Amino acid sequence: MSPPSERSSASWHGTTILCVRKGENVVIAGDGQVSLGDTVIKAGARKVRPIGNGKVIGGFAGATADAFTLFERLEAKLEQYPDQLTRACVELAKDWRTDRYLRRLEAMMAVADKSVSLVLTGTGDVLEPDDGLIGIGSGGNYALAAARALIDRDDMDAEAVARRAMKIAAGICVYTNENVTLESL
């Protein structure tokens, strides 16, 4: 991965992705804002989608074309290792780290199935959080902090926590809006 000074600000500022696992449910939510520098290019982008025949949900932060490439690669790994999300992610991370073309991709992914939530990075990391919460992108830490504050509320399910946390992040991060796409399992 290139140093921060060499990265394009347009590819690293423009999204908030949040994964919330609570009880038997898991959701991934993403805002719809796409920014180029300090200009909003699109307000309703879809950065969260089901993959792996609908058994996996994923969201991306970073360069859009790079993220689509990673989604396609993960789909192929899931076909190769059906119902084995962790194995598919580890194999993708190996490719991402060693392949000259993939190494230059600037994106991160949050993915989840019924049993595991993972973060994938271009440095070869496949990370499972202890608390079932993941936040990536420019507003990811704001959404993550809000979700951690809300997760123990008995009156909120995973979707309600995600929606409220995304609204809080949108009120803080200028690269995040309130047009939320949410997928759940």
Q: Show Cβ contacts of residue 114 under 8 Å, excluding neighbours closer than 6 positions.
A: 26, 55, 185
Catalytic residue positions?
15
Q: What is the DSSP letter of 76?
A: H
β-bridge mates for residue 51, sequence order = 56
Name residue 36's amino acid: L
**C-alpha 63, offset from chain centre:** 12
**C-alpha 110, offset from chain centre:** 3
* Exposed/middle/buried for residue 24 (C-beta within 10 Å: 0-12, 13-18, 19+): exposed
